Every structure is written in C-alpha cells, then in structure tokens.
Amino acid sequence: MKRSNFFLPTLKENPVDAKVASHRLMLRSGMVRQSSAGIYSWLPLGLMVLKNIESIVREEQDKISQQILMPTIQDAKIWKNSGRYSDYGKEMLKILDRNKKELIYGPTNEELVTEIFSNNVLSYKDVPMCLYHIQWKFRDEIRPRFGVMRGREFLMKDAYSFDLNEDDAIHAYNKMFINYLNIFKKMGLKAIPVKADTGPIGGDLSHEFVILAETGESKIFCDSNIFKQSIDNIDYEDKSLVSKIVKHWTSFYSSTQETLDENLYHSLVSSNNRIQKNAIEVGHLFYFGTKYSEPLNASVVNEDGNKIFVKMGSYGIGISRLIAAIIEVFHDEKGICWPESVAPFKVGIVNLRQNEKNCSDISQNIYEKLCSTGVAVLYDDRNEGAGSKLADMDLIGIPWQIRIGPKSLKNNCVELKQRNKNDEVEINISNIVNEVRKKIVKQ
C-alpha cells in the first residue's frame, strides 16, 4: 500500500479528552474515530488490526468449536423466558419495531444460542457441541471510557458449549481455558487466568483472563509465579492432559477483587510473591450448568431414552478491547510498537527524499519486490519532510522500517530499523528484500 493512496488521517497533537495511551494513540494514528459516546468507526488501519486479531482468535477457536454468526438484534421474548430481560437492567438497549414488537440489541448471546440448540439438536449423539461467533455487542455502559477499552458498542468473540454431564462440561471449560492461553500468547501477550465473579451471566465457576496494565479497570491479587508459566499447543481430546494443565495453572493463587479471600491469599502466597496490580480483562470463562437450558428447554434424549437438560458454559473475548490492551503494553513515547502477529503492515518504507529520483526509484523497486513476495508493506511516498514521515511511521508502530535516503545510498545501502529497538543497520540494496523476509519469518 502506498501512503499517498491510503486513508490514514494521523494527528500531530494529543486529543485532549483521551486520558490513556491506547485511546490517544488509536486516535492519533488514525485507527478509529468516535461517532458518539463509546461508539466508534474503524478506519483502514484500525480495521486491519481488528481483522488480524479476529483471525488469530478464529484460528485457535476452530480447533475446539464451530463458527456461526448470530444477529445483533434479538427477540425480547427469549430474554423474558430466561428471566434476564428485567435482570440485565439499563445496560440493555431495548428497541420497538414498526409492529411494536420488542427487540433488543444483543449484549451477549446465551439465550439465542440456547434457542438454536433447543430447536435443532435432539439427540445425545450431537453433543458435545461448541459454537462460537464474532459479532458486535451493545451495552449501554454508565461510564464508557478509554476509547474502545470500555465501549458501548464493541466486538466480542463468544463461544457456548453444550454437554451431557458436568464432567464433559468441565472438559469443555478446560479446553477453552488452554485455548485462551494460546490465543493471547500468539498476540505477544502474557495473559493470566484469575478466579472471577460471574455477574449477570451467572453460574458457579468463572475465570477472567487479564493483562497487567496501570490503566486497567480490574484489580487482581496473585502469586507472581503464575507469570513464569508457559503454554504449548496440545491435543485437546486428551482429557487427562487438559485437566492436568488447568490444575497446574489454577494451583497458583489468583483472584479479582470481588472473589478475593484475604486469609487464603496471605496463607498461600509468601509476601515477596504477592502481586496486587491493575489489569485489563480481555477474556472471561463461565460455567453455569442448566441456568439457560432449563428455562429455554434445551434438552436431548440420552441413550436410556431419558430427557436431560444440557450443561452449558460461555466464553468471551473482547476483540476490540484487545487492541487497546495490546497498545497499553506495547507503546513508547513516540507511538505504538505492534507485535508482529497483529501489526497492520509488517514493513514500512520511508523515502527520506521523495523528490530525488534515485531515492524514489530505489524505494519503488524495494516496495514492489517486497509486495511480490507477499509481505504487507506501507510505503510512505508522500512529498513531506523526512522528520514528519519518520515521526508518523513511529506513531503507527509498524515493526520493521526501511529508511531510504542519500546518505546510505552513497554506500549502495538502505537502513533497516526495528520499531522497538535503537539498532538501525545499513544493508546492501541487493540484500534488503531477503534480509527483511528472513527477519519476518524468524519472529
């Protein structure tokens, strides 16, 4: 993509009402624009990152569940049947259509997915089943703030599991637990699971996945050793391995403020290892048994001919919030420093002297070669000063920068710089494409 053709309205000044780094940088780098409180339009750069995050989530979720797509607008009737129409309170956006039929804009999808299951699955042979979708949600939050971190409209991945008995349902929960660790790892994040409250979703088993950040709205209390643990891809059908891994991770004390047991925390974790910090909730797991399957009549006939209500869990990831969380972790005073897996472009080319023919010819040539090998490149070909082009490239956070100017061209070289390091190296023009490709593959 050439910058001259790319809709990227960057801002030089910090917007006054943006209080946290991620909000400031998302506005300054032209990723989003607010349309009303807590509701955003996604411009090309922002949408590219959103899609990258979606595809990491999709790739991992496809290993343990099937993707569907439910609508944003739901019939109020199913929410009345589950009892949540009144329970959900003012956060739920209620709508009347032209026939005065009551609809709602979905804040989540337990009711609708349970109805789909109930109308289409009759036999125990069809379970276990796990369905997920990636869809916009609306919650009329009292205090939408920090940009897409706490929006009113936001993109969520939500999955729902259906099982015959509690043992299988806990296996589904555990698979999701490990899947989440892998998803966040792929984004370069160290997310940890913490024991959590179930809130309006309900149930008796729940974990939040959180990222440490000063600006996070959750407070967590945990054993620092949990940060030293790592996760690998595993065979999800190996029930005992799955359970062993989850037992290991949950053996370290970790809790949100709401579920904190002060005595237990102090007795289990030595004072040097206690971490009490702010964190951003990026994912949430719930197990709630038959809370929705009973009122919405989601049952199957088992082998013995008996009708049983399925045991369910639901599992969310804040896709749009993740962008803010990633920026909170990966930024410096100049701008965003994207981890490569989510970066909108892998390489940015900065032509430092647009009006010098040699610089432009070589920039164009490297740009074409990189594009033809499938690398996502943004080439800043605008007729602007070198300083402002470099500042913009730092602001938008592309992981690798190729800087092309007369000084290094004298040695037949260009400069290669990693966004988050101060280690620019001169590389011969004839090697640059291969060098960059090698570095990207290695990451």
- In the complex, the residues that contact ligand 5CA under the rule CB under 6 A are 108, 110, 139, 141, 150-151, 154, 156, 158, 201, 281-284, 286, 314-316, 318, 320-321
Residue closer to ligand 5CA, measured from CB, 52 or 61: 61
Q: Please report how close the Cβ of residue 341 comes to ligand 5CA at its closest, in angstroms.
A: 19
In terms of CB distance, is 133 or 389 closer to ligand 5CA?
133
Q: At what angle do helices 319-329 and 44-61 cross, to 10 degrees?
A: 110
Taking the complex as a whole, how short is the minimal distance between the CB of residue 66 and ligand 5CA, in angstroms?
15
Cα separation, 29 vs 378, whole angstroms: 14
Q: Phi, psi (5° rounding) for residue 64?
A: -130, 0
Residue number with CB closer to ligand 5CA (3 or 311): 311
Closest approach of Cβ 78 to ligand 5CA, in Å? 14
In terms of Cα–Cα distance, which of 114, 108, 130, 159 is closest to 309? 114
17 contacts: CB under 8 Å, gap ≥ 6? none
Which among 282, 285, 300, 301 is positioned nearest to 114, based on CA atoms? Answer: 300
8-state DSSP, 228:
G
Contacts of 371 (CB under 8 A, 6+ apart): 377
Q: How many helices (H) and strands (E) does the chain have?
A: 13, 23
Is the Cβ of residue 156 or residue 296 nearer to ligand 5CA in the bound state? Answer: 156
Return the number of the residue (150 or 291) whose C-beta is nearest ligand 5CA: 150
The residue (of 158 and 223) whose beta carbon lies closer to ligand 5CA is 158
Q: Give me the least distance between CB of 256 and ligand 5CA, in Å please.
A: 11
Q: How far is the CB of 25 from ligand 5CA (least distance, A)?
A: 17
- In the complex, the smallest distance separating the C-beta of residue 74 from ligand 5CA, rounded to whole angstroms, is 13
Q: How far is the CB of 363 from ligand 5CA (least distance, A)?
A: 39
Residue type, 50: L
Q: Measured between alpha carbons, how far is 337 from 348 in angstroms, rounded to an integer? A: 13
Q: How far is the CB of 194 from ligand 5CA (least distance, A)?
A: 12
Residues contacting 321, CB < 8 A, separation 6+: 148, 149, 150, 151, 154, 280, 281, 282
Tokens, residue 290: 């038959």
Nearer of residues 196 and 416 to ligand 5CA, judged by Cβ: 196
Pick 156 or 279: Cβ nearer ligand 5CA: 156
Do strands 218-223 and 274-289 pair parallel, antiparallel, or not at all (unpaired)?
antiparallel
Q: Which residue is nearest to ligand 5CA (CB)?
A: 318
